[in-house]
Structure 1
């Protein structure tokens, strides 16, 4: 597991999102819709919904938008019906790519995702063609901006709370957990006073592809095009982003 690359990927994605903030609320609304659809509309009883709401609020999404997404999912407000779909394939130079979408038109979205892969030298594959290269993990990031965190102490806190591993590099602490242990570890670290920059259950690649600048640029063009699609919720890949 290559420690710092996942956080670099997240920072890069957030930077791109800041440049197109008009689409961010729609992405959050879809995440909230899915979480509420699957686990109910009460965030106190639905950790996934609570996490989705926290992320939306961090991006200043209005409460009315959040409540509307929950009402759609619970059937108290008329609206489009969305379904989750996952696409897998290879980008340029064999980089593994997994695309999660939430769409109200599967045919449209499939065509758009396929076009993005083809345009940038990749190939959309069959289900399972690259997912075996990733593990589903809880992922928590704590950034030591004031050089105030004791490495030994935070490591013991995380492991004692149930974390599988912690990676430390340049003041960034990446905590990895099993999916079932994610919520208890997140809550424990918050209770110990650590400020969490990112917390999610996500896919972590077992190994990363290290490419030169020109090769990486071609892969990033594909990822950018996918992330610009309003139906795309997340793009996972094993390119090591420096």
Structure 2
């Protein structure tokens, strides 16, 4: 996955309006609720919750909002039973797309996804149709600053169990096995590092570049439409976007 593509996605997140950030926080709140229901409200013993909290902090979600989400989820006896379902498909030009959802109505979610895939020149496929084009990896991004020493960070990341360390134009990227992500993230957090992003992601093995302006427009609209759906938690793709 090219650094250009990742940085484009990061800039997309950073450029969100207040209303869009509110939607992101709502999605993170749902992710927190699912983690609490699965493993309890204590992040010290619930590694999934601990990971979601780190992801929320990287998205600049306020601490009091995070704590309220945990408290609300731990006291919620109505038990909104969200299912975590992953969908796969193709965008325009054969771009591979994976959509991770948390839904209380799988028929509604599947219908909404199919509508947008069809509308923007793609198609929703069967489970497994594109997942082989991705590897599941823990991804930690740390912004380049004068106070961050590259060699020290690399050694600390690798010592903590990271698989790979790379240097991009604007940030350092640390990749881990999904099973080692929590341990590496916690080790770096204890060293005082702050994250631009810290989450388990679907990282494409190969990327697809679009040349047709209409396909580029439709792919951008497809991602935006999918991300705007309440049921959608994450959208992964192998579209190689040029840095703006």
Q: Same fold (TM over 0.5)?
A: yes
- Structure 1 segments (4+ residues) deviating >6 Å: none
Residue 65 (structure 1) aligned to one of 45, 51, 69: 69
Per mean C-alpha deviation after superposition, the further-off stretch among 177-186 and 126-135 is 177-186
1:170-222, Cα deviation, whole Å (9 max, x unpaired): 14101001012112211222333332221111111111222237233221110
1:143-192, Cα deviation, whole Å (9 max, x unpaired): 013x3333333222222221111121114101001012112211222333
Instruction: Look up the match of 1:218.
Output: 218
1:182 aligns with 2:181: yes
Partner of 1:13, secondary structure, is helix
Instruction: Look up the match of 2:13.
Output: 13
Contact map agreement 1:53 1:66 (CA 8 A) in 2: no
Q: Structure 2: which 5+ residue stretches go unaligned?
A: none
Instruction: State the 1:239 CA deviation.
Output: 1.0
Partner of 1:196, secondary structure, is coil
1:47-86, Cα deviation, whole Å (9 max, x unpaired): 21123234446322263333112333xxxx2142111111
Contact map agreement 1:7 1:141 (CA 8 A) in 2: no
- Structural RMSD (CA): 2.1
Instruction: Look up the match of 1:85.
Output: 85
TM-score (norm 1): 0.89
Partner of 2:99, secondary structure, is strand
Shift of the 226–164 alpha-carbon distance from structure 1 to 2, 3 Å rule, reads same
Tell me how far apart the structure 2 counterparts of residues 11 and 18 of structure 1 sit (CA, whole Å): 15
Shift of the 11–18 alpha-carbon distance from structure 1 to 2, 3 Å rule, reads farther
Shift of the 17–90 alpha-carbon distance from structure 1 to 2, 3 Å rule, reads farther
